[in-house]
Chain A
Amino acid sequence: MHVWTPAFHHQFLDGNPANFSAPPGVLTALPNGLVVQPTPPPDQRGYAIAPGHSLSYALERTLLDVIGIDIRLDVVVFGGAQDQLDVQVRLDGQAVRVIATFLGPLLRLQLVVGGTPMATSIPLESASGLVRLHLRWHTHGQGSMWVNDVLRAYEPALRPGLSLPVTTLFLGHHSAMVTPDPPKMRARRLTVKVLRKDDSTRLLDDLFPLPRPLPVDPECAKRVQGLAGAAMVEARQLMTAAVAAWTRRWTEGQAGSPFSAESVAAHEAAVQAGRAFIAFMLGQERADADRFLAEARKFLALLQTVDPARYTALVARAEDASTQLDVPCIAALEPLRRLYESRLTPLAELVRDLAVTARAPGGPHA
């Protein structure tokens, strides 16, 4: 069970460019094609990053409604103080681009999402060696750059609200012209994960799987999904506002942290609430439900302070949408409901308690 899902994972463990994991698709390796080379010594492993060298992967099925991208790229650089070397990762043409340029012991790192860039420069200890890049974007506007496992730059408003399709993936050099020079950089690992609009809803479904399809009237289902979808859009807008309010643009070297005390508290409450909810779904213990409600209350109380009017409207809209779940058109579900009654009862109690909490998270029980 994961929310973010992997789209491509290559560790370059041997001389076979096709030794990777990904959903079905077509791999293209330039300039040598998919020729299997004998496994080189460990220090020479990795895919050569040089002019004309690239790996491209075209997925059979486009990943739709992608609202988050997570890219990890490990490269080993053999550069000198005067060398300028670059490596790029591109998704869906130019829609998402990572450009890492090594100017001797200085790394210039760019993440471009939907045409909007964020960038930073990072001094490295040496012009050569292993460098681990990690970049993440989320539709709430958060862009993050880690180098060697340390956060180096953060952006709170990087293309908020964007949703995009992903079909292709590219790793290589900006130039397509092959040169005779030996490569001065090798990719050691590339992992790309995506978050799609409905991945978190799927996680909730996975926690209590039921036989599908459910006998729900199609018109009823359509109406509820429409209401839920609209509420989700508003929820994302509120989260985007929270990100903007609680975090700030930051690059390494600036004073302070990009994350306010409220954002740290909200994150911690969210993580604890998530843990408790999963434990509750697995074990149906009331203590886990209580822990979830307590942490959810903290999280919602903080969220409410961002924009009280919008928060109230969102809760009202969500409650209105929820009433649609109980209309007669889902009467056919009654046998299924009876079948799972013992497990549903504590879940229903938790949901009702959450409703009370959500209406007034900062209320008398806070």
Chain B
Amino acid sequence: MTRSTSEAPLLLHLPGCAATVVERFAGLTRVVVSEDRNDLLSRLPEAGWRAVVLVVEDESDVRLLPRIAAAMSDGIVVATHPSPSMDLVLEVESAGAAILLSHPPDVDRLYALLEPYLTEHGDHPVPEDAGAEDRVVGTSAALTDAYRSVARVAASAAPVLIEGESGTGKELVARALHQRSTRSARAFVAVNCAALPEGLLEAELFGYERGAFTGAVGRSEGRFGRADGGTLFLDEIGEMGLGLQAKLLRALETGEIDRLGSGDTVRVDVRIVAATNRDLDARVQSGAFREDLLYRLAVVRVGLPPLRDRMEDLIPLADAFTARFARRHDRPVRALSKEAVAALEARRWPGNVRELRNVLDRAVLLARGGVIRSTDLGDGPGAPSMSPVETDDLEAYPATLSLREVEERHIRRVLMGTGGHLGDAAEILGIHRNTMTAKIREYGIDPRSPEAANPGDARP
């Protein structure tokens, strides 16, 4: 049920500091303060608590946590303790609390933590059967066209070239081609041409005899051999070197391969499906890819649209991934907030479906109370880590900083202390000067003004 923000209440049992918290949250939501545990428990059945924050002072308090967590459908339970310890963190987490903070809690930190739970709700439920099968999801016109092509050519033996940006699901399409072909009973063998160094790629593709080269510890029939009678999927074929392209072309033209270290020629019957995120026509023009090989591979060309061109498929995909990862991680995630949906729709998705998959994999793990909120989606690389321990010993960093961000802040602080002197800073940090140089480049730190924000995108 959708609620307005002002009706998403917060229940507190924080002796000695409740007033401060009430004041901080006053503009955001209704706050109810319980003076004792019994009062808190008596209020639990009232519907709609989004967040409960209570101090746990002894074992009996910890034993209350499961009851509290069970009484809240989409909310979060935050525990506090004067001296949080590792063992207590584990105990309260197992009992149902999302996080253990120091008591009294830092109010700004508490606000940042709770605000999504008080303002974002499970407006978008995930269908229960979403993601049940590992299949392509989407009904956009662009994707439908691609699948029409697949359906038309699947039954033939014609080579197919699948083109699309990274992460658009080219392997899924290749598998779909294989499954719908007359070769579906035989092997589907994939090889990523960019993942292997060229020498290793040749050996993997065509096989080798024992001792054919250093590292050839046993005989291998190669991917062509394993795919005999079936389908060989050559992913990222645009990365293949010219020398190997020539050998591949021969295999395609003659149906014969030579194993490394063997004088024999082997006949193979393989249907080739290739994929690339490169513009192979341009690479042919520049001479980096053989035109005759492209001609052989691209008897049929299937283009997969980038995710940003099929945004109508975004949410069904998100549902599918959410459901799949909720099952895999055994998390009761059932919905996304409308803010989370909006955040997903606002992204450009340079990594396409693979990036979406990763974002939701993470979000499912981070989500509390069964709902994925916008803050669970992260910002890409360097997204918040899941470090729930907060003690007074730590720096005053928000709980959601990643290790990388902690390191960057530390380096900036040290540099400020040394007046930008790299050598001194390296010595203080106990790192080699080369490492210092690499780190300030990586984080975009100007030693002359280390406190300044990153001037641009961090290097990958």
Q: Do A and B come from one complex?
A: no
